[in-house]
Structure 1
């Protein structure tokens, strides 16, 4: 299991971001909504994200250097990729799956205030 996690950790955020955008837009959600979710989760802003995308920052550094993980992440629960996000033991993989779960909720049409756990 460790090696497949390692592969995911070393993937660049920039390589996955267009898939997040496509998933959202395919379901009539916007890139702006997606970015709002990413900023809410990580504490990054638009300028920082542009730099992360340009530098092809990997997921390990993306989350490792995040200004502040939202204090409400513990409210993100449910199943993503067959795993309950609240039970994922590896802290980095859990953060990646939190992001996947939020993108999923966006694509499923959940209202933003629910996605952002307000």
Structure 2
């Protein structure tokens, strides 16, 4: 995938009511964590839910990765939080399996680092 075909941004809070978006992202996260952390969680454990995703979107804490070659379809996400005026963190980095190994995960980390620089004092 060409890096120019993706974008990473915080969706508007109104996107929290988009059931297709929240369900797709919850599925991507749960599939990613089921694979990456197999054996850590109990069988059937889900890392997140569409309601959790919606809450993060409402708080502007969820950055979404979009693939523009597929009509701006969401292909991943990460949680970004300001802990204090001088500290931030990110987590729940997840990417659709078909886009792994493309460099997109690295771009997601870079996005979080740049967002931290932008928001911190």
TM-score normalised by the chain length of structure 2:
0.32
Higher relative contact order (CA 8 A, sep 6+): 1
Q: Which has the higher helix share?
A: 1
Q: Which has the higher strand share?
A: 2
Q: Which has the larger radius of gyration?
A: 2
TM-score normalised by the chain length of structure 1:
0.33
